[in-house]
Amino acid sequence: MQFKVNGVELCVETFGERDDPPMLLVGISMLSWPDELCAALAGRFVVRYDLRDAGQSTVVDPDAPNYNLRDLVTDASELMKVMDLGPTHVVGVGVGGFIAQLLALDHPGQVASLTLVSTRPVAPGPVDPDLTDHHPETMKQLFGRPAPDWTDRDSVVDYMTESARLMVGSRGFDEQDARATAGSIFDRAGQSAKARRASHLGTMFAAIDCRPRWRERLGEISAPTLVVHGDEDPFFPYQNGKALAAEIPNATLLTLPGIGQGLSRATWPTAVPALLRHTSPDR
């Protein structure tokens, strides 16, 4: 499905019954949230979507984005309105967690609960002195490799599979899943090399204006909050999740041992029940 919001078209897919409590999943590609994971969230009306400049949403120029982080927040807010979701359980992973935090801060009436997965309380760029930055050796391995041919499926699948291995922690790597996800993201992306790269890696978030800071406002979040973070996350290390849980009132921290970025299949037996409890109408 395509929905026009905030001057762009967002590609959306849903799972579950329309009358169930709504849950908005925010990542880069909608495939940040695998089909089986979405189906496992039974009892929720799950909505996943491609950010602009990713997947089958509007793509202009991911290398020179003409929008800022607050525009991405407005995209999500307007999508929730046009779909008539009402107060929604918002779940953000990675940089999608930036959007989720700002939805809870700037549109509190739309957020029934907040879940933050593998994210941090500050934008791209230098981190605050008390936070842990990207793991330097992993970043060297991740970004020091030759880039793939973004127009060649096999090249991209091999490259993204190795990226997954570097990012998911000692307990999280599943090569079959990684290869299948990379192939599916490639197949859904636009034909240009830029579009395919952005669908896998996201637009250049470091080039987006993310100001003003929001960490100092975390104490304003009123939505019940669950922070889910792997203790081997090399991209947004575990200290970032601990900081979010400490600074958001009454937040709960769920630590995933041996896990890096995201919710790999190995986390589902723990993460799915936690998400369902956190978003239960009887909570």
From first to last of its 283 residues, what are the pLDDT tens digits of the chain? 999 999 999 999 999 999 999 999 999 999 999 999 999 999 999 999 999 999 999 998 888 888 999 999 999 999 999 999 999 999 999 999 999 999 999 999 999 999 999 999 999 989 999 999 999 999 999 989 999 999 999 999 999 999 999 999 999 999 999 999 999 999 998 778 888 888 787 666 767 899 999 999 999 999 999 999 999 999 999 999 999 999 999 999 999 999 999 999 999 999 999 999 999 988 7
Domain with 139 in it: what CATH number? Answer: 3.40.50.1820
Q: How many whole angstroms separate alpha carbon 279 and alpha carbon 283? A: 7
Cis peptide before 212 (omega within 30 of 0): yes
CB 157 within 8 A of CB 182: yes
Which sign, positive or negative, has the C-alpha torsion 273, 276, 282, 283?
positive
* Total count of domains within the chain: 1
Q: How many whole angstroms separate alpha carbon 49 and alpha carbon 230? A: 24
Domain of residue 169 covers 2-279
